[in-house]
Every structure is written in C-alpha cells, then in structure tokens.
C-alpha cells in the first residue's frame, strides 16, 4: 500500500516526484496525497493504472504493497545517516533496509553530483545515470526487499537491480547498463548516448501543484518548525522515567485529516482544519514557550499573549473569523468527548466549523488510541480559540473569564501524567523534578498544581517532591525573577 515521498522542508521532493511521473510514463492515474507521519510529512503515492509497461507494473506493485518504501530527495553533499556513505560515492542513490518492519528508505541525489552527471558502466563505454533511472534502480532494490526476495550478496543484489533498470532503460530507449560490471566510472559526459532523458509529457489530471498547495504552503512548513523546536525543548522531560510531553508534541498528527483525501475535494473543510486546528496549535505552542521563557512578569506575559493572538487573527480569513466562537465551543466539546467518552456531544458537530473537531475526535475513538493526551491538547486549543474569539468580539474587558496567561499555566500543569511513571527512585526523581521546574514550570502556581496532581495520583508515594516547592522554600538553584 505504500510508497511515500518525504516532503518536509529539508527534502527535495519535487524532482523525485517528477521522476516517478516519468517511471509511470506520465500516466494520469498517478496521484499523491500528503499525510502526517510520525517521522514527518509524506506524500503517499496512489496509482490507478491506465497505461501498461514493465515500469508502471513495478511501480504499482510497490504502491500496493503493505510495507513502506519512503523516498527522499537530497543534495549531492548528503550522507546516508545509517551507513555513513556519502551519496556522491554511491552513484547518486542509497537505500537503507529496515529489518524490524521490512520497510526501506531510499535517498536520491537530485543535484546530479553537483551537476557533474552520474555515469554507469555500459557495453563498451559509459552511460548516463539520470535521476529517473537512479530512482528506478533503488526502487528495484526496495521491491525485492519488501517482498522478501533480496539476495544476500551485494553483487547479486546489484545484478538484479541493474537488470530491472535495463528493462526500464530499454522501454524508454536509453542505452543499457552492463549488469555484470560493478566499477564506478564516476561523473562526466557519457561515451554512449546523451545526457537527455526521453521525457514523456505530463498531461492534465495530475500535478505536483495539487499536493504542494494542500500541504506545502508556508503555514504547514512553519508549523513543523515550531513543533520541532518545542520537541527539542520539552521532548526529553520525563516523570518517573516516562516521557511527559513527548506524546503530546506529536499532536499535529491529530490533524492529519487536514491533508487526507476527502479534504482535497473539500477546500472549506481543509481551510477550517488548517486555521482552527493546525494554526491555533502552532500559536498555542509558541505561547507556551514564551510563557515559560518570560517568568512571572505580568506585563511581558500580557504583551506576549497579545502578540500571539494578533498574529493568529491576522492570518485568519474573514469567513473563518466569523465562526471563531463556534470553533472554540466545538474544540471544548471535542475535548470533553475524548475525556468522558460521551459521544452524544458529537451529534451537533458534524458541520463546519465543528466538523474540524468532530472528525478528529471520531477518528481518535475509532483507533482506540489513548485519549487523555489529545483531550488535553484540544482543551488548550479551545482555550486559545476562545481568547481569540473574545478579542475579535472585543469582550475582553467585560468577560469574567480568567486571563489567558494564568489559564495557560493551569492548562500546562494539567498535562496528563504518564501511566507508566514509576516514582520510586528519589535521586532520579529529584533530577527530573528539577528539570521540570526549570524547563516547564518556572511559575510557582503551576508547579503547585502539578505537585498536587502527582500526590493525588500516587497517594502512597514516599519519595520527596521537594524540588517542586514554591521558590521561597524550594532548592536554591532555580532562580525565578
Ligand atoms: Zn544498487
């Protein structure tokens, strides 16, 4: 079922996509849809085959296989992270076989050896190894790997992949490889054939642009950066040896329906998902980072909140800002559904903007994944949307709601406690609490709430929670203000 292109900003996905189009002979049945995966964003390839050839048959088999083949476009300076081999020394292509799950990662140099042109041994001379032939060659290796038929010896693997590459070369009229010659002729101008790849012309019906506009627009790219940054800062925090925030930092996967197939045909839902779900989460994360960095300086905190809300509102299209209020209600209701399991609240939500959160919630429940983390994230998003809606309606002064600064702190301190935390090693726990104090809870009140929750959850815990005590009574190393 799965051929996926890495499309996070660090990958050069477009030339790889164009190579796949060539391998498919410009069959308009080739499509891809961007999804959020654990390792980042990926364009999953779908194929409704309309033309027939050896190369499209191969492509279809990989696309329909249950194991994953992931393709990454890289520059000529790339080094394979698994085996440390520079891609320029391995003919512009490199594959890593993952034995644990039977999947494979392929890296291909989209810069043609810094523009020097990769060469391969032909019959009585050298031939050009263009990007489509390199991609095809690596896909051949991947294919034998996922079907469990890769021969163990390197040489046998190469002969097999070169034979397949030749089948593709023959099909498009390129000079053939000498499959038994394993010498690397390096780079330059081939002595056989030309540097041209006989490209088919892409017809309408498919294009990379469809995908690019769905998921590679600047909002999503920036969203990934901001989540990555937060992951770096908070991802290592543990409580009782269990990761505390890491599961939640992957929360953008909640909104992967943003880019699922049906979203493509429903631009209104897609926009709502992007702005109410993804963008609000981005600004929430930003706000949390500022809240922590600023410490108990009320004025600076209020200014930071102000800035984040203004930025969010500035990006919100007019049509969507009118429904901000209902979106905030829907996010809160979705959070309730997930934490109580009471699905009756979902009933009124199946139209925009509630749809955004109803679809996330029902897919969470369908997968029976742990709901405490997503419920918490949705509560944070609800908080943020509510504040934005209030600002828009200019009701900040008259409302009795708590200020967002303190609400954010309380929300942060109500992070789900990990089920598998083990609070027995007092030395380790001391260290963990000190990190939490420094990184996540510099504010006294948040720390107190968090401590109360630990005590309520583990009433018999005998180890000291001293490191969480308010500043006055606390250890001397954490300086607040
Ligand atoms: Zn090879």
Q: In the structure, what pLDDT confidence band is assigned to residue 43 with cuts at 50, 70 and 90?
A: confident
Which of 33-37, 136-140, 182-186, 293-297 comes out lowest in average pLDDT?
A: 33-37
Q: Residue 243 pLDDT more than 50?
A: yes
Q: How far is the CA of 137 from the centre of ligand 1 (A)?
A: 6
Q: Residue 73 pLDDT more than 50?
A: yes
pLDDT of residue 70: 94
Q: In the structure, what pLDDT confidence band is assigned to residue 468 with cuts at 50, 70 and 90?
A: confident
Residue 283, CA atoms < 13 Å, CB-side half-sphere: 28
SS3 459: coil
Most confident among 137-146, 238-247, 359-368 (mean pLDDT): 137-146
Q: How far is the CA of 66 from the centre of ligand 1 (A)?
A: 23
Judge if the upstream peptide bond of residue 177 is cis by omega within 30 degrees of 0.
Answer: no
Q: How far is the CA of 449 from the centre of ligand 1 (A)?
A: 58
Q: How far is the CA of 224 from the centre of ligand 1 (A)?
A: 33
Q: Residue 214 pLDDT more than 50?
A: no
Residue with tokens 């990958």: 11
Q: How far is the CA of 437 from the centre of ligand 1 (A)?
A: 51
Q: How far is the CA of 138 from the centre of ligand 1 (A)?
A: 6
Q: For the chain, what is the mean pLDDT?
A: 83
Q: Residue 8 pLDDT more than 90?
A: no
Which of 164-168, 317-321, 356-360 comes out lowest in average pLDDT?
A: 356-360
- The DSSP letter of residue 83 is T
Alpha carbon distance 402, 420 (integer Å): 33
SS3 74: strand
% of the chain beyond a pLDDT of 90:
44
Q: How far is the CA of 172 from the centre of ligand 1 (A)?
A: 20
Most confident among 86-95, 219-228, 319-328 (mean pLDDT): 86-95
% of the chain beyond a pLDDT of 70:
83
Which of 106-120, 134-148, 298-312, 383-397 comes out lowest in average pLDDT?
A: 383-397
Q: How far is the CA of 32 from the centre of ligand 1 (A)?
A: 26
Q: How far is the CA of 167 from the centre of ligand 1 (A)?
A: 15
Q: How far is the CA of 468 from the centre of ligand 1 (A)?
A: 56
Q: How far is the CA of 107 from the centre of ligand 1 (A)?
A: 12
What are the residues whose beta carbon lies below 5 Å from ligand 1 (ion)? Answer: 158, 161
Average pLDDT score over residue span 455-476: 74
More confident position, 6 or 267: 6
Q: How far is the CA of 93 from the centre of ligand 1 (A)?
A: 8
pLDDT tens per residue, range 19-40: 999 999 998 888 877 666 666 6
Alpha carbon distance 137, 126 (integer Å): 17
Q: Residue 11 pLDDT more than 70?
A: yes
More confident position, 447 or 228: 447
Q: How far is the CA of 92 from the centre of ligand 1 (A)?
A: 10
Which of 174-183, 271-280, 301-310, 435-444 comes out lowest in average pLDDT?
A: 271-280
Most confident among 185-194, 251-260, 418-427 (mean pLDDT): 185-194
More confident position, 294 or 258: 294
Asked if residues 44 and 267 have their Cβ atoms less than 8 Å apart, the reply is: no
Residues whose CB falls within 8 Å of the CB of residue 380, separated by 6 or more in sequence, listed in order? 281, 284, 408, 411
The DSSP result for 237-301, as a single string, is -EETTEESSHHHHTGGGGGGGGGSHHHHH-HHHHHHIIIIIIIHHHHHHHHHHHHHHH-S-HHHH
pLDDT of residue 20: 94
| CA distances to 265, 266, 275, 282 from 270, in Å | 9, 6, 9, 16
Residues whose CB falls within 8 Å of the CB of residue 232, separated by 6 or more in sequence, listed in order? none
Alpha carbon distance 152, 156 (integer Å): 7
Q: In the structure, what pLDDT confidence band is assigned to residue 273 with cuts at 50, 70 and 90?
A: confident
Q: How far is the CA of 160 from the centre of ligand 1 (A)?
A: 9
More confident position, 65 or 297: 65
pLDDT of residue 16: 93
Average pLDDT score over residue span 213-230: 58
Q: How far is the CA of 270 from the centre of ligand 1 (A)?
A: 40
Q: Residue 397 pLDDT more than 70?
A: no
pLDDT tens per residue, range 121-157: 999 999 999 999 999 999 999 999 999 999 999 999 9
């Amino acid at each position: 079922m799965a051929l996926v292109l890495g499309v996070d900003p660090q990958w050069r996905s477009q030339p790889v996509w164009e190579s796949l189009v060539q391998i498919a002979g410009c069959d308009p049945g080739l499509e891809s849809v961007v999804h959020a995966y654990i390792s980042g964003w990926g364009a999953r390839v779908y194929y409704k085959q309309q033309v027939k050839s050896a190369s499209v048959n191969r492509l279809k088999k990989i696309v329909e296989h249950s194991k994953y083949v992931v393709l990454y476009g890289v520059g000529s300076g790339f080094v394979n992270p698994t085996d440390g081999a520079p891609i320029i020394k391995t003919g512009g292509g490199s594959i890593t076989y993952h034995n644990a799950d039977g999947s494979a990662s392929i890296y291909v140099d989209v810069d043609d050896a810094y523009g020097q042109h990769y060469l391969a041994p032909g019959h009585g001379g050298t031939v050009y190894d263009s990007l489509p032939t390199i991609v095809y060659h690596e896909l051949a290796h991947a294919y034998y790997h996922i079907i469990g038929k890769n021969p163990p010896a390197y040489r046998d693997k190469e002969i097999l992949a070169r034979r397949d590459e030749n089948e593709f070369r023959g099909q498009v009229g390129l000079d053939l490889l000498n499959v038994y010659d394993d010498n690397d002729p390096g780079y330059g101008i081939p002595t056989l054939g030309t540097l041209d790849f006989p490209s088919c012309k892409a017809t309408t019906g498919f294009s990379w642009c469809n995908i690019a506009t769905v998921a590679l627009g600047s909002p999503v790219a920036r969203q990934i950066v901001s989540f990555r940054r937060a992951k770096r800062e908070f991802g290592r925090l543990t409580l009782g040896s269990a990761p505390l925030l890491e599961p939640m930092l992957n929360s953008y996967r909640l909104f992967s329906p943003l880019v699922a197939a049906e979203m493509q045909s429903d631009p209104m839902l897609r926009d709502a998902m992007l702005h109410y779900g993804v963008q609000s989460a981005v600004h929430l994360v930003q706000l949390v980072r500022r809240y922590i960095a600023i410490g108990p300086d009320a004025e600076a905190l209020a200014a930071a909140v102000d800035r984040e809300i203004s930025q969010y509102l500035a990006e919100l299209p007019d049509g969507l800002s009118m429904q901000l209020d209902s979106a905030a209600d829907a996010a809160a209701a979705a959070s309730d559904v997930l934490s109580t399991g009471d699905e009756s609240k979902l009933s009124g939500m199946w139209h925009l903007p509630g749809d955004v959160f109803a679809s996330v919630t029902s897919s969470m429940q369908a997968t029976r994944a742990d709901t405490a983390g997503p419920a918490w994230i949705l509560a944070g998003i609800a908080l943020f949307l509510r504040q934005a809606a209030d600002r828009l309606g200019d009701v900040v002064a008259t409302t009795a709601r708590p200020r967002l600064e303190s609400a954010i702190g309380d929300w942060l301190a109500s992070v789900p406690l990990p089920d598998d935390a083990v609070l027995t090693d007092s030395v380790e726990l001391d260290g963990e609490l000190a990190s939490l104090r420094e990184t996540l809870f510099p504010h006294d009140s948040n720390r107190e709430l968090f401590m109360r929750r630990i005590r309520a959850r583990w009433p018999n815990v005998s180890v000291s929670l001293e490191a969480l005590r308010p500043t006055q009574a606390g250890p001397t190393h954490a300086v607040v203000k």
